[in-house]
Amino acid sequence: MATASHLMTLPTKVLIGEGVLSQLGEFIEGPGGKRMVAVASGSKVRSKVKETIDSSLGGRAMWIEVAAADTKNVERVVRESAETGCIVGVGGGKSVDVGKLAAFRRHVPFFSVPTSASHDGISSPFASLKGLDRPYSVMALPPVGILADLGVIGSAPRRLLSSGCGDLVSKLTAVKDWQLAGRVTGEYYGSYAASLALMSANVVLEGSRRIGRFGADSVRDVVEALISTGVAAGIAGSSRPCSGSEHLFSHYLDSISPGAGLHGEKCGIGTIMMAKLHGLDWRAVRSALAHVRAPVAAAEIGVSENEVIESLVRASSIRPDRYTILSRRRLTRKSAAALAASTGVI
């Protein structure tokens, strides 16, 4: 029987190192050409990197402020960048996601310049925004290039790096969900993309004590692992190797407790519980997250016991088409409470 086809989209080049932000102009030279460059960024990040970027681009930077990760900001970036040759997203999740989707809609190259390592959106073909008709990420295209200045990223609050570790660990249960769907529903399962995602998860699971010391090598390892998970999604042609039941839990929690915790923090907490449902070593997951100073209990991110229970019971409603362990187990409020309590989440 012939296998189903799917399109792979991958970044063309990646530059990682200390002080590489000063090379941005040269980095984007090919696809971006000599035209003006739209730089989508939040105000705080702009004040931190503007001088270096302006110097590197030789006066060709058109700065566009991104105030929030929503459709209004995407529309504004599309409109204000109309005469530019490419879009560069500089900052954390909101600037990268807004810039990514704006470039996708304009059909121009997009470059990702993360200033923190809090989640895998820096390299993936997906964008997560408020104001869309769905509470989860939508498909765009991956960045043409990714420039990660380890000095800039290393100076970001440590909580952001810990959040990135939570997003990395979540690949453990995302891959198990993908495997389960392949067996139960016949959905395409790609072992190579899955292995790449698991390798990134293991960077944290096996090296959590060293990463928790937050040295320069920790920053590089987390950044490279996050980039690899985005590549895994590109190879798979979907978010499957990176997003499973733990992400559905996180997305539902977003809907009932907006603003509580960072994305990677909620995914990490979800992974602890989903790992137990899958029969994995959830204690090892919890321990690794604790070593990197990521939250392991709902109270640490200001979420109530009832919100955790409701999110566990209702998470599958976020994407009924995505088969996960929650589709198989169908938790009741009683069993959800028992799961959360037994893993120390509540």
Please report, for the domain that includes residue 232, its CATH number: 1.20.1090.10
Is 134 in the same domain as 200? no
Is 33's pLDDT higher than 60? no
Query: What phi and psi values does residue 289 have, to the nearest 5 degrees?
Result: -65, -40
Domain boundary among 132, 155, 178: 155
pLDDT digits (tens, 9 = 90+) for 46-83: 999 999 999 999 989 999 999 888 889 999 999 999 99
Residue with tokens 């000599």: 34
Is 249 in the same domain as 310? yes
Residue % of the chain over a pLDDT of 70: 95
Is 135's pLDDT higher than 70? no
Which tokens in the block code for residue 234?
């590109």
Is 300 in the same domain as 182? yes
* Rounded Cα distance, 105 and 89, in Å: 14
pLDDT digits (tens, 9 = 90+) for 189-211: 999 999 999 999 999 999 999 99
User: Residue 259 belongs to what H/E stretch?
Assistant: none
Count structural domains, the chain: 2
Is 239's pLDDT higher than 50? yes
Task: Assess if residue 4 is contained within a domain.
Answer: no
To the question of pTM greater than 0.85 for the whole model, the response is yes
Average pLDDT, integer, range 114-135: 79
Is 129's pLDDT higher than 90? no
Amino acid at 318: I
Instruction: Give the SS3 label for residue 197.
Output: helix
Domain boundary among 138, 155, 172: 155
The confidence band for 136, taking pLDDT boundaries of 50, 70 and 90, is low
Is 307 in the same domain as 330? yes
| Terminal Cα-to-Cα distance of the chain (whole angstroms) | 47
Is 142 in the same domain as 189? no
Contact 11, 226 (CB under 8 A): no
The confidence band for 1, taking pLDDT boundaries of 50, 70 and 90, is very low
Structural domain including 253 reads 159-342
Is 271's pLDDT higher than 50? yes
Q: In terms of C-beta distances under 8 Å and separation of at least 24 residues, what long-range contacts does 213-222 make, across chains too?
A: 214/158, 214/161, 216/18, 216/150, 216/154, 218/161, 219/117, 219/150, 219/153, 219/154, 219/161, 220/16, 220/150, 222/117, 222/161, 222/164, 222/165, 222/168
Is 77 in the same domain as 165? no
The confidence band for 31, taking pLDDT boundaries of 50, 70 and 90, is low
Is 51 in the same domain as 67? yes
Is 23 in the same domain as 151? yes
Domain boundary among 134, 155, 176: 155
Is 44 in the same domain as 179? no
Task: Assess if residue 8 is contained within a domain.
Answer: no
- The mean of the pLDDT values for the chain is 92
Average pLDDT, integer, range 4-13: 75
Is 141's pLDDT higher than 70? yes
Task: Assess if residue 5 is contained within a domain.
Answer: no
Is 317 in the same domain as 262? yes
Please report, for the domain that includes residue 85, its CATH number: 3.40.50.1970
Is 127's pLDDT higher than 90? no
Which tokens in the block code for residue 303?
């979420």
Is 117 in the same domain as 171? no
- Min mean pLDDT across 79-88, 131-140, 289-298 is at 131-140
Is 78 in the same domain as 172? no
